[in-house]
A = this chain, B = another copy of it.
């Protein structure tokens, strides 16, 4: 596919072309064992300390949407990538590429919301950078955050740690972020206003890991949605995953919006949800812990992990029958994160 010779929007979708870009351009050049794991954050030793380190750029349009803005997204996104590796998120960096002419009030609002999200997550923004580009570039503002956190040792959480017999849990309703942003962009109005689920999940992870030592995989199904996250995990862990459509928690408004707009819910981004692969024995215990936390109230068991056909994700459909849930091939919802 890279024979197309130019970057396409789909290379940024989190789907198949994103993975190809990573595998054909970035991995061979930067070749090293840490990067090759393709987990949400890198685990490295510095001195006697085991560190998690991660980064994400945010280019969402519009900058402000119901339930959040680019600043909240940038802080939560990086906090969550650290939390998914089992790390305690501690320090963030924030780099701003600002378009000439951006109202200062907008920048202040974004920065304020980064402050609030950092306070909620218990992290500190300790270093940063600002660049300004000419009018017409950068859509107002791009924000890139990086984060470091303390990893317990031994750290066993990884996308590669899923095992046959595990169950698949999700922390709440699916698709809220992507549909909230796209609705705002398209000027769609729903009877009930849709809000992004954007939230820091380190507190939720904390109660889960306290409840059980058999949480094997954590991942936040952001860009590319549930389908992409499950495919990545199935691939990394060499297992198959079967989910059940009936068990997926979805808001009625989100389901309606997906039907109206022609989106497959499984591929819509979430910014305050996580998936967990947990040993079946501990499923009820972990679910109870999740439901005790504000960000896990609607947690549900949505599927099971099997040994056959490694890498395959399937879904038992509402109306019967089973379908393959693949990696997204093309562009989904651009600029939602």
Contact = CB atoms under 8 A, between A and B. Distances in A.
A105 interface: yes
A118 B26 CA distance: 13
A256 interface: no
A93 B146 contact: yes
Determine which residue in A21, A112, A134, A137 has the highest number of CB atoms from chain B within 10 A of its CB, and name it: A137
A291 interface: no
A129 B42 contact: no
A30 B91 contact: no
Given A47-B150, A129-B56, A9 B100 contact: yes
A263 interface: no
Nearest to A56: B129
Given A44-B90, A137-B137, A6 B55 contact: no
Nearest to A36: B126
A232 to B, nearest CB: 15
A2 B104 contact: yes
A145 to B, nearest CB: 8
A35 interface: yes
The oligomer's copy count stands at: 2
A138 interface: yes
Contacts of A134: 9, 334-335
A95 B94 CA distance: 12
A207 interface: no
A130 B21 contact: yes
Given A104-B25, A105-B5, A97 B53 contact: no
B46 A51 contact: yes
Interface in A17-42: 18, 21-22, 25-26, 29-30, 32, 34-35, 41-42
A34 B127 CA distance: 8
A163 B230 CA distance: 58
Determine which residue in A22, A104, A105, A125 has the highest number of CB atoms from chain B within 10 A of its CB, and name it: A104
A6 B334 CA distance: 27
B130 A29 contact: no
A32 B104 contact: no
A329 interface: no
Interface string A46-74: 11111101111111000000000000000
Contact of A44 (B18, B91, B128): B91
Given A56-B129, A136-B136, A137-B138, A115 B51 contact: no
17 contacts: A6-B103, A6-B104, A12-B131, A21-B130, A26-B128, A26-B130, A29-B108, A35-B124, A42-B93, A44-B148, A46-B90, A51-B148, A53-B91, A53-B93, A55-B128, A134-B334, A137-B138
Top-9 shortest CB links A-B:
A12-B132, A146-B146, A55-B93, A42-B126, A144-B144, A49-B49, A47-B49, A42-B127, A57-B95
